[in-house]
Structure 1
Amino acid sequence: MLDTVLQQPAMDFVPQSTEHLQGQEAPRQRARVHLLVVDTDAAVRSACAEIASSLGYAVQSTADLNQARSLIRGHAADVLLVNLPYGGYQALELVSEVKLLYPGTAVIAMTASSSVNAAVEAMRRGAADYLTKPFAVDELSAVLERAASTLSIDAESRQLRERLRLSQGLGSMIGRSAEMEKLYRILSKVAQSTHPVLVLGESGTGKELVARTIHAYGPNAFKPFLPVDCGSLVPTLIESELFGYVKGAFTGANKSKDGLFVTAEGGTVFLDEVGELTLDLQAKLLRALQEKEVRPVGATHRVPIKARIVAATNRDLAAMVEKGSFRKDLFYRLNVVNLRLPPLRERREDIPLLTAHFLDRISKGKARKYTLSDDALRTMIKYDWPGNVRELENCIERACALSSGPVLELGDMPTQLQQQGLEAHRVAAAEPQQAEHPADVIPLAEMEKQAILGAIRKLNGDKLMAARLLGIGKTTLYRKLKEYGIQDPMLDE
């Protein structure tokens, strides 16, 4: 049946609704490779998906090029299998875009025998292989196996990223920097155990998000996740929240209540700002962790617990131990595994990704497509963000609320960003144009020029596509080229 479908002549382009075909369990013991099939022929899509699934691929498919772009941006594909219809310039654009933005993705072009030139062009744009329709099952299998063998895959970090992408509420964990990739790998291992975890990081770095990720990706994800803010409650309330109480234990205790350690029922209790606990509560928490049981307030009996503990703080617990304000034995009990979340200033390359995510979310809510001006984005990348991702999100929301148009300018940003931008302009204006730079320092203007020219050359002179991928308007691109005095970016130096 599959041979019959794949060896039929290619059908004309007929728009269809997007469909997703989930990959089945791989028969081979190798990392799951994610394949995206893009073809307007539903029968071919289905046949390719079935063959790839039998080879161990996790498969998604679509007939729509824009939907394909969205799936790829979500890191859904390691291998792209795309049909190039006769005169399929848009599909070739997709090949160029994928190889420019995600060079690690292996692209395989499918083409009818009458349009082999399109396959040659796809190879020139970075495709790793191609198939000429009609093709046999073993041909497709061989090409997919070659593609899989060229990929270097960290299976655990891949699974975690896929879960983050699909899980509601966890999509804000965004970043492709080396620091975030390292965090993904550690999380994928930590989540599979039930050991206590200590999450360290500055305010606004996403400590609770990491705790929820550990829970959602762990073996007891179907059980409760119960957070408690140790810094916002008085000690007596924290004790009753964690350990519970019996009727008559204190004024207002009209009935007994189980604490979070008990109601978690094998789930996760998240102790946010654990460094704020008093020494008395630290001692009770230590006993609960050691003996795996708690004594409710006012009770004489003890209740067994099974909850996993994930604690977080923005304070230096090791220094607090030295000063005697945090118990050393509790520190070691909580610090079985510790995760340090990098501040935003240490992963500046993720700022454009985070900004795009927040803008996309706000745009959907207001039915308006917001974008950032070049000046605003440059300033945001240079800014240190003491409030980290939380501050960045608030900044974007404020700018969208104050902006009079779809383009967010530096003037729409909070005062501290405006001041930094003005200072940068003042310093640039005060510096002599002929000032020399150290050999290892490249002026920002030169970096911008090389980025623009490099993108145009990679796209074989396609200025409109270059402008789109660079995130600037075509008018801005042409103005920049005029400033550089360049008529033909493919030839001029």
Structure 2
Amino acid sequence: MGGLSKVFFDIDAENIAGLEYIKKPFAKSEVLRILIVDDDTQIRRACCQILKAKGAQIIGAGTLSEAEAMMRKQDIDLVLLDLKLPDGGGLTLLEKIKVLYPDTAVVVMTAFATVSSAVEAMRIGARDYLTKPFSLQELTAVLERAGQRAIFDQQSRLLRKKLNSHEETNILMGNAPEMGKLHRLISRVTFSTHPVLILGESGTGKDAVARAIHFNGPNAAKPFVALDCCTASQSSIETDLFGGNVNMHAARNQSKTGMLANPEGGTLFLDEIGELSLEIQAKLVRVLQEKEIRLGGSRAISLSVRVLAATNRNLASMVEQGKFRKDLFFRLNVVSMRIPPLRERREDILLLATHFLAKNEHPSDLSRSLSDHALNAMLEYDWPGNIRELVSSIEHACAVSREAVIDLGDMPTNLQQVGLARLGEEQVCSELKNAEGHTNNGDATTLGDEIITISEMEKRAILETIQRLNGDKLLAAKLLGIGKTTLYRKLREYGIGELIPNILA
């Protein structure tokens, strides 16, 4: 590595640790584990002192083999990797890291002569790169960026685990890119006190997002109070929010403290805030602007609750129509996040379905699973009710199915229709394919040396269709394009009624 480490010759460990621009620690997190892979001991020492001053746990390696051994032993959040090592190129290790440890961030170091390697490293997935020789300020800046991002990624992973394990927020599980963005945004706002506006269609999990923000932040031990602005009357909403006199009995009134005046603090979640009347909106925006709420007409107390709001409506459009106050919209929209509908993250459907199947245990203790036909229908369906509808569909299927395998006939009607359309397309394609080599001969068809009558073909089609639909004759009739009465008549004519299980007949 020759003269590339010369920038460190005049700086000892004590001086490095005392420099003002490296004293600032990383943001609060679990201990950040960083692996420095470089055969130059001076560079390793300098990086080690900078990162230790920021509260990180540092491991050093001088070769690729040492680095791989260390990564097998423990989880690493960030790797600082030289591209030229005694036992090979750093790009080899980078490729392995991206495959085996995709959550680990990598910063590469390279000499002027290998800038093209740095570009290739960025293409493979490196987070950043340093060109040697570099100054301490440059090294510190890159490590600061990479360290803070690694902490952010670490917090996002922890949040994802919590969301997947917590009963009320596991509907937010998912690996789709849009869900990754949502998880990262949730982790950013949990420690803030600003209002958050949660946007999403009905059934996407807006309540779960609000709970994730609250229970993963500093107010987790404080109350989380939700108010549904859609189902309650406007008068009761006003009393719930701001307090007032409640007619408990004919003889007397009782004063009620509003949710906004809760002295314990915590979080107030206003679900479907677009349904609030303009009068209540005016009072709410005043509280948010002044950050205090008046009690008894004159006495004011500071606002100690954090306000989260959600809606499935287009508030910007409502502002233009005069149905929602512009000032309240801007107060709530300090941070906004959109939950993607299920149809925009179909890659998560199998994960979600499997999770909710596991929650509906089979009486025989057999694990539930989905047939190909049922799963294909779920993947093609647009889910207007989103996660809520998916959960309901799984519960329906588990309730009506007598088997461990959920088939298309066990699903709700809307999913059956999607599945039937797909089955119909598959059957048409299959029949067209099988028609090759068939010769129509009056009332019979030839296939090789076998003579098959039209009646026999019809009988086989009926049997196969009903069997594929788990014995559901009504669905079979729809798929075959005949009425239910006609189907029963043909079952009697062909003497195959006893061969069909009497399910959902």
CA deviation profile, 1:172-198 (whole Å, cap 9, x unmatched): 321011111111111110111010000
Shift of 1:245: 1.3
> Which ranges in structure 2 are unaligned for 5 or more consecutive residues?
1-25, 35-55, 60-73, 78-96, 105-146, 434-505
Distance in structure 2 (CA, Å) of the matches to 1:78 and 1:364 = 40
- Given candidates 409, 419, 430, the residue that maps to 2:407 is 409
Q: 1:193 to 1:152 in 2, by over 3 A?
A: closer
Report the Cα distance in structure 2 between the residues aligned to 1:420 and 1:363, rounded to whole angstroms: 26
SS of equivalent to 2:422: helix
Name which of structure 1's ranges 247-256 and 230-239 shifts more when overlaid on structure 2.
247-256
Name the aligned partner's letter for residue 289 of structure 2. Q
Larger radius of gyration: 2
SS in 2 for 1:255: strand
Contact 1:247-1:256 at 8 Å conserved across structures: yes
Q: For the Cα contact (< 8 Å) 1:245–1:299, is it kept in 2?
A: no
Judge conservation of contact 2:164–2:173 (CA < 8 Å) in 1: no
Question: For each residue in 1:327-366, what CA deviation from the matched residue of structure 2 results, as whole angstroms up to 9, or x when unmatched?
Answer: 0010000000000000000000000010011011112787
The letter of the residue matching 2:316 is A
Instruction: Tell me what 1:372 maps to.
Output: 370
Deviations 1:401-456 (A, max 9, x none): 0001111000000101111111112223335857xxxxxxxxxxxxxxxxxxxxxx
Which secondary structure does the structure 1 equivalent of 2:340 belong to?
coil
In 1: Cα distance, 2:251 partner to 2:236 partner: 12
Aligned residues: 314
State the 1:33 CA deviation: 6.2
Distance of aligned partners of 1:280 and 1:365 in 2 relative to their CA distance in 1, 3 Å threshold: farther
Q: Deviation of residue 32 (structure 1)? A: 4.4
| Map of 2:203 onto structure 1 | 204
> What SS does structure 2 have at the residue aligned with 1:310?
strand
The aligned residue for residue 336 of structure 1 is: 334
AA aligned opposite 1:304: S
**Counterpart in 1 of 2:428?**
430
* Distance change (3 Å), C-alpha of 1:188 and 1:252: farther
Write the distance in 2 (CA, Å) between the matches of 1:345 and 1:306.
Answer: 38
* Residue identity opposite 1:162 in structure 2: K
Indicate conservation of the 8 Å contact 1:77/1:105, yes or no: no
Checking the alignment, whether the CA contact within 8 Å between 1:246 and 1:256 is kept in structure 2 is: yes
SS of residue in 1 equivalent to 2:423: helix
How many Å apart are 1:155 and its aligned residue? 2.1
Aligned to 1:451: none
The 3-state SS of whatever aligns with 2:172 is coil
Query: In structure 2, do the counterparts of structure 1 residues 33 and 359 end up closer, same or farther at CA, with 3 Å as the change threshold?
Result: farther
Letter in structure 1 aligned against 2:231: S
Cα deviation code 1:5-40 (max 9, x no counterpart): xxxxxxxxxxxxxxxxxxxxx9x9986469xxxxxx
Q: Give me the whole-angstrom Cα distance separating, in 2, the residues matched to 1:204 and 1:210.
A: 12
Task: Say if 1:78 and 1:104, in contact at 8 Å, map to a contact too.
Answer: no
Cα separation, partners in 2 of 1:30 and 1:359, compared to 1, 3 Å: closer
Q: How far apart in 2 are the matches of 1:252 and 1:368?
A: 60
1:160 shift after superposition: 1.5
SS class of match (1:330)? helix
Which of 316, 324, 327 is the matching residue for 1:326? 324
Partner of 2:192: 193
Q: Distance in 2 between matches of 1:380 and 1:347?
A: 12
**1:158 alignment counterpart:** 157
The 8 Å contact of residues 160 and 173 in structure 2, kept in 1 or not, is answered as no
Residue 307 of structure 1 aligns to which amino acid in structure 2? V
How many Å apart are 1:302 and its aligned residue?
3.5
Query: Which AA in structure 1 matches 2:256?
Result: K
Among residues 351, 357, 360, which one is paired with 2:358 in the alignment?
360
SS of structure 1 residue aligned to 2:204:
coil
Pairs within 5 Å for 1:226-265: 226-246=225-245, 254-263=253-262, 265=264
What per-residue deviation string (whole Å, max 9, x for no partner) do you get for residues 53-75 of structure 1? x9589xxxxxxxxxxxxxxxxxx
Q: Which amino acid aligns with 2:262?
A: T
Q: TM-score, normalised by structure 1?
A: 0.57
- Give the alignment of 1:30-429 within 5 angstroms: 32=32, 104=102, 154-165=153-164, 167=166, 169-246=168-245, 254-263=253-262, 265-295=264-294, 299-363=297-361, 367-429=365-427
**Per-residue CA distance 1:110-139 (angstroms, 9 max, x = gap):** xxxxxxxxxxxxxxxxxxxxxxxxxxxxxx
Query: AA paired with 1:180?
Result: M
Give the equivalent residue in structure 2 for 1:6. none
Shift of 1:368: 3.8
Contact 1:202 1:343 in 2 (8 A): yes
Q: Output the CA distance in 1 between the equivalents of 2:397 and 2:209.
A: 27
For 2:413, the aligned partner's letter is: T
Q: Secondary structure at the match of 1:318?
A: helix
Deviation per residue, 1:387-414 (Å, 9 max, x gap): 0000000000000000011110000001
Q: Percent identity?
A: 48
Q: 1:313 to 1:162 in 2, by over 3 A?
A: same
- Is the Cα–Cα contact under 8 Å of residues 371 and 408 in structure 1 kept in the other structure? yes
User: Secondary structure of 1:315's partner?
Assistant: coil
Q: Quickly say closer, same or farther: Cα 1:182–1:304, change in 2 above 3 A.
A: same
